[in-house]
Amino acid sequence: MPAGFDRAGSTRTLDHAAFVSARANGKVILLGEHAVVYGSPAIALGLTSGAEACVRHAECSTLSIGTGERLTSSDRPVGEEPVALRALRELLASLDAPPVEAKTVLAIPAGAGLGASAALGVALARAVTALSGSLAAGSIGRAALAWENVFHGNASGIDTAAAEHGGCLWFTRQGGVSPLRLGSSLQVVVALVEPGASTRLMVEAVAERRRQDPEGVGRVMAAIAGLVEAARQALAAGASGELGSLMLRNQELLVELGVSTPGLDRACGLALGQGALGAKLTGAGGGGCVIALVDGESRTRVLDAWQRVGFSCLEAKAGPDASSALG
């Protein structure tokens, strides 16, 4: 944790009186990744771990992530700035805020499809807003998306929306985010299977495939959109078996889009072999994480099987009361 960081949330720290800190959480995508970039809906489930950021006023903007190298903007021309510092400047411009010294720390792996960069963006936007004491409606989401777009180019906004709001969410590019009604508790386990690929490159790869085969990819995108609509009904009815089947079909379509890997496929198979109701990759694919929908019986069996082959695991839950928690 950076010096002066306050784990308690967005309050001024004791040892660095001028620092203000804030947090935001990661997410998994239950269904709908990639299609969401083209306007279809997707469903996200917020984690309760993510990122923490602390900021204070400074002559020029600086940013550190985790225990990494300190990046300073004053001694480099803008075009050569490290990408994260460029993203911070976009975030500050969006908030019309002056330069800050920013220190951040991540509690989830970066580049694994768990929304780490969006969590950083939302935590930074919250901290900067708290520091300047102003909050225009929608400004946190806009600033975090300005940050996220520096990394991802054409981000749909689902990661930043999930980081800002948490819980189980319905998201479309046009309509934004709304909480979903759950008929029963939702138990999802997450395995970090292999290093993730760049979201930007995976989104570009799908765009290229779409340019070459607009009809075929259009059919896949429409089919994914249909699954997401059906999943909303299944979630509201508490129909876990149906939801699991929809996730499985979504994974088959992601395989068709070319974004799964043999490692992700194997991790899905392992979970299904232990009684998971559904399993799929989550996020951009090309590596990263797999999620499995489990019940009381299959939860331990899936986690044990994944841990035996060396995967790090997380859990995400949400209940009819709209709460979510990471185990």
Quote the CA–CA distance of 153 and 137 in Å, as a whole number: 24
Quote the CA–CA distance of 46 and 52 in Å, as a whole number: 15
Indicate whether 164 belongs to the interface with ligand PMV (CB under 6 A): no
Indicate whether 30 belongs to the interface with ligand PMV (CB under 6 A): no
Contact predicate 289/283, CB 8 Å: yes
Site string for ligand PMV, 54-93 (x = CB under 6 A): ----------------------------------------
Question: Tokens in use for 325?
Answer: 């928690």
For helices 214-237 and 199-212, give the axis angle rounded to 10 degrees.
120
Quote the CA–CA distance of 240 and 295 in Å, as a whole number: 8
Contact region with ligand PMV (CB under 6 A), list: 10-18, 96-104, 123-131, 151-159: 151-159
Q: Is 6 exposed, middle or buried (0-12, 13-18, 19+ CB in 10 A)?
A: buried
Indicate whether 2 belongs to the interface with ligand PMV (CB under 6 A): no
| Minimum CB–partner distance for residue 321 and ligand PMV (Å) | 26
Among 65, 85, 279, 284, binds ligand PMV (CB under 6 A): 284
What angle (nearest 5°) sits at the alpha carbon of residue 210, between those of residues 204 and 212? 110
DSSP character at residue 263: H
* Contact set for ligand PMV, span 188-247 (CB under 6 A): 199, 203
Residue 314 to residues 48, 292, 297: CA-CA distances in angstroms? 10, 11, 17
Contact predicate 297/306, CB 8 Å: no
Among 131, 158, 192, 270, binds ligand PMV (CB under 6 A): 158
Instruction: Tell me whether residue 159 is one of the annotated catalytic residues.
Output: yes
* Contact set for ligand PMV, span 108-137 (CB under 6 A): 113, 115
| Minimum CB–partner distance for residue 27 and ligand PMV (Å) | 7
Nearest to 298 by CA among 270, 320, 318, 260: 270
Indicate whether 159 belongs to the interface with ligand PMV (CB under 6 A): yes
Among 22, 36, 47, 231, binds ligand PMV (CB under 6 A): 36
| Minimum CB–partner distance for residue 80 and ligand PMV (Å) | 25
Active-site annotation, residues: 159
Residue ranges binding ligand PMV (CB under 6 A)? 29, 33-34, 36-37, 113, 115, 152, 155-156, 158-159, 199, 203, 283-284
